């Protein structure tokens, strides 16, 4: 269920003109291109100011594209991923800001090893949230996108990204909190990405089989059971953005160390995606404006305030 906050909605655009503003908070470079990229490209093309906030530099990311798996790239992966991010943001038509934290890596093993000292996931909440509160107060978004409480998947940086995003959403409008980070600003809506829902995977799986093609989702869907508990968050908002799927894919490919052009991301033809699932999907977690779900616009209820 959407959490309606019991506080007065702020004047949505003091001193900033009547332009809509969207902030997407992500853990690593490349996350912005795999989650919500077509949505951002669409809104940017329509004149919305879009800012991607990237919490870490991806310094501990593995090289996932065999063509880029070279010692000189691995030795300088942080710089390479910074350059990849610059190309991706240009393709999407968005602005981007680094928070400057260090990638935590993904601990693997049984039991998993401890996280490295000084990494993002181990930072105290207020330390990790402070630069994001500053970014919110400077950019003044009406809508914020982030991950759910499980991070979309249980990478420690994704979970931390959720935590700092919720903290900043709640704190940025309170003049008593995070002094010295700018004038207070309260965003109006907070959404969680719902990128890999069971319904979407089944729809694209069936579309691939119907076209006589091999489905990349077969193995995933084999893990589902009728007895599986429903997800904690339901889709409330489906944003039509099929016209920007090609832009999304070009942004993904800009992250050449992370994305194999012959891999999973590109196995479903764009025409099938546009026909059978032409949206990117979200859960509306917080709202200070009146809106009715299901929605087809992240700014539903916001437009009326900004342009009234």
What's the pLDDT at 151? 83
Tokens 């004149």 -> residue: 47
What's the pLDDT at 109? 85
**Phi, psi of 8, deg, nearest 5:** -70, 135
The tokens for 188 are 């109006």
**Phi, psi of 19, deg, nearest 5:** -110, 135
Question: Whole-angstrom Cα distance, residue 260 to residue 262?
Answer: 5
Does any domain span residue 292? yes
What's the pLDDT at 15? 43
What's the pLDDT at 111? 87
26 carries a ligand binding annotation: no
For 180, counting Cβ atoms within 10 Å of its Cβ (0-12 exposed, 13-18 middle, 19+ buried), the class is exposed
Q: Are 146 and 165 in contact (CB under 8 A)?
A: yes
Does any domain span residue 274? no
Does any domain span residue 145? yes
What's the pLDDT at 214? 95
pLDDT tens per residue, range 124-154: 999 999 999 999 999 999 999 999 999 888 8
CATH number at residue 167: 3.40.50.10320
- Secondary structure (DSSP) of 103-157: P-----SSSPPPPPTT-GGGS-HHHHHHHHHHHHHHH--SEEEE--TT-SS--HH
Does any domain span residue 208? no
What's the pLDDT at 17? 59
What is the residue range of 107's domain?
A: 3-195+279-307
**Domains of the chain: total:** 1
31 carries a ligand binding annotation: yes
Question: Whole-angstrom Cα distance, residue 258 to residue 252?
Answer: 8
For residue 206, what are the CA distances in angstroms to 209, 217, 221?
5, 10, 11
Does any domain span residue 70? yes
Does any domain span residue 235? no
Please tell me the pTM assigned to this model.
0.93
Does any domain span residue 255? no
Does any domain span residue 84? yes
Which parts of the chain have pLDDT scores under 70? 1-17, 225-227
């Amino acid at each position: 269920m959407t959490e309606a906050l019991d506080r007065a909605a702020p004047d949505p655009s003091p001193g900033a003109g009547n332009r809509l503003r969207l902030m997407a908070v992500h853990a690593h470079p490349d996350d912005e291109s795999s989650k919500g990229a077509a949505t951002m490209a669409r809104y940017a093309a329509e004149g919305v100011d879009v800012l991607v906030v990237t919490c870490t530099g991806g310094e501990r990311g593995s090289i996932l594209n065999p063509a880029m798996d070279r010692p000189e790239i691995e030795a300088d992966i942080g710089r390479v991923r910074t350059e990849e991010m610059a190309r991706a943001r240009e393709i999407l038509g968005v602005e981007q800001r680094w928070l400057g934290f260090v990638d935590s890596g993904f601990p693997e093993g049984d039991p998993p090893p401890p996280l490295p000292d000084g990494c993002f996931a181990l930072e105290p909440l207020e330390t990790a949230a402070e630069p994001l509160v500053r970014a919110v107060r400077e950019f003044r978004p009406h809508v914020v996108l982030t991950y759910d409480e499980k991070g979309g998947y249980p990478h420690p940086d994704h979970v931390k990204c959720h935590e700092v995003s919720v903290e900043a959403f709640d704190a940025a409008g309170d003049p008593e909190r995070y002094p010295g980070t700018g004038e207070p600003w309260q965003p109006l809506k907070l959404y969680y990405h719902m990128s890999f829902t069971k319904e979407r995977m089944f729809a694209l799986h069936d579309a691939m089989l119907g076209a006589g093609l091999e489905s990349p989702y077969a193995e995933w869907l084999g893990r589902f059971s009728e007895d599986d508990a429903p997800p904690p968050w339901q889709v409330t908002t489906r944003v039509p953005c099929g016209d920007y799927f090609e832009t999304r894919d070009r942004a993904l490919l800009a992250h050449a160390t992370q994305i194999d052009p012959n891999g999973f991301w590109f196995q479903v033809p764009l025409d099938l995606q546009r026909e059978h699932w032409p949206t990117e999907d979200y859960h509306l977690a917080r709202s200070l404006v009146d809106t009715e779900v299901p929605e087809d616009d992240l700014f539903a209820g916001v437009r009326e305030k900004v342009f009234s």
